[in-house]
Amino acid sequence: MAYTEDDLKKELDQQEEYKYGFYTDIESDTFPVGLNEDIVRAISKKKNEPEWMTNWRLEAYRAWEKMKEPDWANVHYEKPNFQNISYYSAPNKKPKYDSLDEVDPELLDTFKKLGISLDEQKKLAGVAVDIVMDSVSVTTTFKKTLAEKGIIFCSISEAIQEHPELVKKYLGTVVPQRDNFYAALNAAVFSDGSFCYIPKGVRCPMELSTYFRINQAGTGQFERTLVIADEGSYVSYLEGCTAPSRDENQLHAAVVELISLDNAEIKYSTVQNWFPGNKEGKGGVYNFVTKRGICEKNAKISWTQVETGSAVTWKYPSCILKGDNSVGEFYSIALTNNYQQADTGTKMIHIGKNTKSTIISKGISAGKSQNSYRGLVQINSKAENARNFSQCDSLLMGNECGAHTFPYIEAKNKTAKIEHEATTSKIGEDQIFYCNQRGIDTEKAIALIVNGFSKEVLNKLPMEFAVEAQKLLEISLEGSVG
Amino acid sequence: MELKDKLLSSFLAFEEQVNMHSEVHDIRSRAIKDFDDLGFPSKKQEAWKYTSLNKILKHDYTVFPKKEDAIDYRDVEKYFIDDIDTYKIVFVDGIYSSHLSATTHEKIDACLMSSAMNSPKYKAVIDNYFNKVAPKESLTSLNTAFSREGAYINIPKNTMADKPIQVVNFSTGNEAALLVQPRNLIVVGENSHVQIIERHQSLSDNPVLTNSVTEIFADKRAVVDYYKIQNDRKSASMVDNTFIEQHRESFCSVHTFSFGGNITRNNLNFYQKGERIDSTLKGITVIEGNQHVDHNTLVHHQEPNCESHQDYKGVFGENSTGVFNGKILVDKKAQKTNAFQSNNNILLDDKATINSKPQLEIFADDVKCSHGCTIGQLDEDALFYLRSRGIPAKEARALLMYAFANNVLESVKIPEIKRKINKIIANKLGVSIGFNL
C-alpha cells in the first residue's frame, strides 16, 4: 500500500497531545496585571536592587513606552495586550537548599516529568543546573566546584547584589535597553535570569545549563541572561525550555547577551519546546527573543538552536564580530507543525579583519505551519578578508505549509568572500521507496530522513542535549516520525 | 516646486492634450490618484531599502518636451544593432521620430502606442491588455497616468516576426532636465515568436530620468526574447518596470545588460498563468564610478509544472553599488515547480558595495527551488596562470571577467547582440580582445 499524503496528514492529526503539558501547583507571589513606572519600581524594590539598577530599568521603560511593536516579520498573530500581563511572579517557598532532598517534592516531580533528573545529571552528566522556575532561581548545584575555579554562575539578581561591578560594566552593552521593542520591555521588567562569568584563561569544566519554565497562569516570562567569557576562557552553555499546556497566549521576551573577550570561546546551545498551541492553533507561547553576542580579538561565539515549540517564534541569535580573526557560528533547526509560525535566523556583522562566519539553518514545516529564515550577513568596509558561508535548507511535509527564505547580504569590502545557498524540497518518494524496499516502514523512514536532514546541526549539540533534541523532533512530528 | 506636485498639476494639462473621451481616460485618472496617495518610493519601503531616488528627484524635470526631430541617423547609428535588418521604433525626447523608424503593419504590428490608443481598429486589444498586468505601484501608476507614447507590438496567432524589433529612446538634451515615461505594450499570440531589443540613450549630459513601463503578454506556446541594453551616460537615470504575463507552454526570456547610467532600477516581474511555462531572467552588470544598479525581480509561480531560471552576474568597481533583490513566489497550487536563482558578484574596489537579497516564498511542497548567491574576487591563481603565459594583467583580468559573465551571454540568441555586448564590455575594461567569445 502506498503511503499517501492523506495518510501522513491523518497521522499528524492523531499526534499525541503535548506531553509536557502539566501544571505545577505552587503558590506564587504575583503582582497585579499591568505595567507602569510604579510596577517597574516595585519589581526593582522587591528584588532589593541598588538605585543604579532601578534607574536603568526606568530608562528602558521610558524608551519602551515610545516604541512600536515591530510588524515586519512574516508572522501573523493577535498582538498581546501588555497591560494585561502580570510582570512579576515568584515561587512562594524559596529557602536556599543545601541538598536536593529539601526541595519541594512537587517541584522535583515536575522536573522528573521533563526528564531532568537533577541527581542523575549531577552524577552522570556533570551538569550544574541553575533552575529558573517562574523567574526566581530555586537551586544552584555544583556552585562549589565552579567557585574553586573562580567561575561565577548564579542568578542575575544575585549577581546584581554580589558582583555589581561586573553587571554594571557589561549589562546592556550588547543589547542596549532601547535596542528593540521586546528588548526594552525585557530591560524594564526582567524578573530573573542567569549570570555567568568565566575568569581569564579558565576552561569551564562542565556544561552550564539553565532550564526555563513558564508556570504561573497569565505570567509573562522575561529572562535576562548575561554570559561573560574573559580572555582565553571557554564555556559551553545550555538552555532548555518546556512549558505547560495553556489556552491563552503567553508572552516570552527574553534577552541573552554574550561577551567573548580576546581568545575566549562561548558555545551557547538552546532546545526550545514551549507549548505550540493545540491542533486548531489555539493557545501557545509567543516567543520574542533577542540574543546577541560580541566577539573581541580571536574570540568565537557559536549558537546552536533546536526550535520545536512556541506558537510564534521571533528570534535572531546574532554575532558581532568586532575583533580581528573572530569567528561566529549559527546552527539551527526550526520545526513547525499545525499552526505554528517561526521567523528565525541570524545576523553576522563583520567588523574586524579576517573574521569568519558560518550559518547552517534547517527548516522543517509540516501541517499548516509557516517557517521563515531571515538572516543578515554584513561585511563592513574595514573587514578585510571576511568570509561567510550560509546554507539554508527547507523541508516541506504536506501541501498546506510554507517555507520562506529572506537572506540579506551586504558587502562593502572587495576582499569579502560570501557564499549563500538555499534549497527547498520535500521528502522524495524515491527516498521513502528505498527505505521501504529495505524493510523500513514509512514512518521510520521519514524519521530517518528528517534526522539525516538535521544531522549537521544535531552534531553540534553537546551529547546529552543532542539526545533530547532528537526526542523533541520526534515528539513534534509524532505519528509520522517514529 | 516638488516634483510630485509638479507632476500632479501637469496631469491636468496633459489631460487636455490627449483625447479626453478615450476609454483610457478613466485608467489614467485612477492612476494619478494612486500616485498621489503613494508618492515616490522611499528607502523605508522594503523593496527600496537599498536604492534611494532622492538624488535624482531633485532636478526640475520638464514633463512636456519640445518636439526635436533633427537627429541625423549617422550620428546615432552606433546605438542601433545596425548589422542586421530590423524593424525600428524610435522616439526622440519621448516623441515618435518617423525618419529614424521603420515600422510595419504587414502581418505583424510594430508601431506606436499613441496610434493604438486612438484608433478604433486597435480598441479591442487596448481594452483587453492595456494596464492589465501592471500593478498599483507608485512609479508604475505615474507612468500609467501619463501614458501616451511608446512601442505597440502585436504579433497575431501563428506568426513569426520576420525581423527583430528595436525600440530605441533618445533624449537630446534640449531641455535642461527631462522626464520621459515611455509606455510599451507587447501582445504575442498563440504559437508566435518575436525578438525585441530595447535601448535608452541620452545624447547630452543634461539629466534625464526615464520611468518606463512595458507590459508583455505571451499567449499559449508563444516565444518572446527580450533584450535590454543599458549603456547610457552617467547623467541619465532610469526606472524600468516590466511586467510579463505568460500562458500555457509559453517561453519568455529577458536579458538585461547594465553598463551605464547613474541610477538604474530594473523591476522585472513574471506572472505564470498556465502550465509548463518557462521563464528566464538573466543579466550582466559591469559598473564603476558612482553608478548604482538595482535588479528587483519577481517570478510568481501560479500553476503546476513550470520552470524559472534566474542568473545575474555583476562586476562592481570604484564607488559603485549593486543591488539584487530576487523573489520566487510559489503558490500552493503550483506543484512540481522548478525554480532556480543565482546571483554572483565580483567586487573590484574597497568602496564598492553589494546588497543581495535572494528570497524564496514557497507554499507548495512538491517543488525544487534553490537560490545561490556569492560575492568574491577574481581568482589570484587563475590570474597568475594567465600572466605567467605572457598575458598582461589588464587583459588577464578582462578574460576572467568574460569567463565569469559568459554563461549569461551564451544564451543570447542573436549573435549581433553578443558582439555588441562584447564590444561594450571591452570598451569599459579598456582592452581589445582579439576573438569572439
Sign, CA dihedral A181-A187-A193-A194, equals positive
Q: Domain range for residue A135? A: 5-476
Nearest to B372 among A410, A420, A426 (CB): A420
Min CA distance, A30 vs chain B (Å)? 42
- Domain co-membership, B121 together with B246: yes
User: Quick check: is A199 in a domain?
Assistant: yes
How many domains does the structure of chain A reveal? 1
Min CA distance, A458 vs chain B (Å)? 23
Subunit contact A400:B362, Cβ cutoff 8 A: no
The pLDDT value given to residue A101: 56
The pLDDT value given to residue B126: 86
Per-residue confidence band for B214, with pLDDT thresholds at 50, 70 and 90:
very high
Nearest to B369 among A400, A409, A424 (CB): A424
User: Quick check: is B265 in a domain?
Assistant: no
User: A332-377, pLDDT tens digit by residue?
Assistant: 999 888 888 899 999 999 999 999 999 999 998 888 888 999 999 9
Q: Are B219 and B189 in contact (CB under 8 A)?
A: yes
Q: Among B259, B291, B307, which residue terminates a domain?
A: B259
Per-residue confidence band for A249, with pLDDT thresholds at 50, 70 and 90:
low
Q: Among B359, B377, B395, which residue terminates a domain?
A: B377
User: Quick check: is B12 in a domain?
Assistant: yes
User: B216-234, pLDDT tens digit by residue?
Assistant: 999 999 999 999 999 998 8
The pLDDT value given to residue A19: 52
Per-residue confidence band for A90, with pLDDT thresholds at 50, 70 and 90:
low
User: Quick check: is A481 in a domain?
Assistant: no
Subunit contact B367:A405, Cβ cutoff 8 A: no
User: A143-164, pLDDT tens digit by residue?
Assistant: 677 788 888 888 888 888 889 8
In the predicted structure, residue A480 carries a pLDDT above the cut 50? no
pTM of the model: 0.82
Q: Are A446 and A427 in contact (CB under 8 A)?
A: yes
User: Quick check: is B267 in a domain?
Assistant: no
How many domains does the structure of chain B reveal? 3
User: Quick check: is B195 in a domain?
Assistant: yes
- Domain co-membership, B43 together with B135: yes
User: B98-114, pLDDT tens digit by residue?
Assistant: 888 888 888 888 888 88
User: Quick check: is A360 in a domain?
Assistant: yes
- Domain co-membership, B365 together with B387: no
Sign, CA dihedral A456-A462-A466-A468, equals negative
Subunit contact B362:A403, Cβ cutoff 8 A: yes
ipTM exceeding 0.85, yes/no: no
Per-residue confidence band for B20, with pLDDT thresholds at 50, 70 and 90:
low
Q: What is the mean pLDDT of residues A8-23?
A: 51
Q: Among B377, B394, B421, which residue terminates a domain?
A: B377
The pLDDT value given to residue A29: 62
User: Quick check: is B268 in a domain?
Assistant: no
Nearest to B349 among A409, A414, A416 (CB): A414
**Which residues from B are below 8 Å from A402, CB to CB?**
361-363
Those residues of chain B whose CB sits closer than 8 Å to some CB in chain A are 46, 332, 335, 345, 347-377
Q: Domain range for residue B138? A: 1-259
Subunit contact A397:B358, Cβ cutoff 8 A: no
Those residues of chain A whose CB sits closer than 8 Å to some CB in chain B are 72, 379, 381, 394, 396-426
User: Quick check: is B264 in a domain?
Assistant: no
The helix or strand, by DSSP H or E, that contains position B356, with its residue range, turns out to be strand B353-362
Nearest CA in chain A to B44: A72
In the predicted structure, residue A306 carries a pLDDT above the cut 70? yes
Min CA distance, B346 vs chain A (Å)? 8
Per-residue confidence band for B284, with pLDDT thresholds at 50, 70 and 90:
very high
